[in-house]
Structures are given as C-alpha cells and as structure tokens.
Amino acid sequence: MKKKKLKKVFGNPNRPRISVFRSNKEIYVQIIDDLSGKTLVSSSSKETKFYEYKKNKTELAYKVGRVLGERAKKLKIKKLVFDKGKYLYHGRVKSLAEGIREVGLEF
C-alpha cells in the first residue's frame, strides 16, 4: 500500500516531498528530493529545544513544523509536496502542516 501512495506523491528539485513519521511519543519530518534520494532538511520532536512542549503533542507538532519551515526557507524552498504516509490528516499531522504553512511554504 505504501508503494501505491509513493507513486502518486513524488518530490523533485522544484517541489521536494515532506515525509512525516509519527510515533506514540514523537513526530519526525523531513524534506526529501526523490530524484537524488537525499534529505534536504529534517526536524523532530526529539531536539532539545522542544523539551518544554512535551506535555501537549499537538502543540509540539506545530512547533516542529514551524522550525522545519524556517530551515527550508533558508535553503530557498518555497513549494512542497506533502506526504502524510499512512496517517490521517488530523490531529498532530494537521498541526504539523499548519506550522509549515504558517512560515509561508506552499503545498
């Protein structure tokens, strides 16, 4: 099933792919150029600056999204493709996307 979605969601140098992985405690997100197979930018809730937000996971996902967006802006990435994977666009995944959009990135 994952390969079917990956065929539809594909990043290139003009529009890299945002890949989301969510566990019960943490959230990990990275921006990938699928043609070269390299991760351009990544962020996760395990970074030390997010320790104060550990009580509310939805708020934590929003902050992770903002940090990822700011890092992507430094690399002059403006348009992206959002790959939520097997997760519903709800809760932490939606909050993460809102954080990325808040910075000014489009997908």
For 7-62, the pLDDT digits (tens) are: 677 877 889 999 999 999 999 999 999 888 899 999 999 998 888 777 889 999 99
Instruction: State how far the Cα of 77 lies from the Cα of 45, in Å rounded to an integer.
Output: 22
pTM of the model: 0.86
Q: Is the pLDDT of residue 103 over 80?
A: yes
CA 84, 92, 78, 107 torsion-angle sign: positive
As a whole number of Å, the CA-based R_g of the chain is: 13
**Hey, what CATH class is 17-103 in?**
alpha beta
pLDDT of residue 3: 55
Instruction: State how far the Cα of 69 lies from the Cα of 59, in Å rounded to an integer.
Output: 15
Q: Is the pLDDT of residue 2 over 70?
A: no
Q: Is the pLDDT of residue 86 over 80?
A: yes
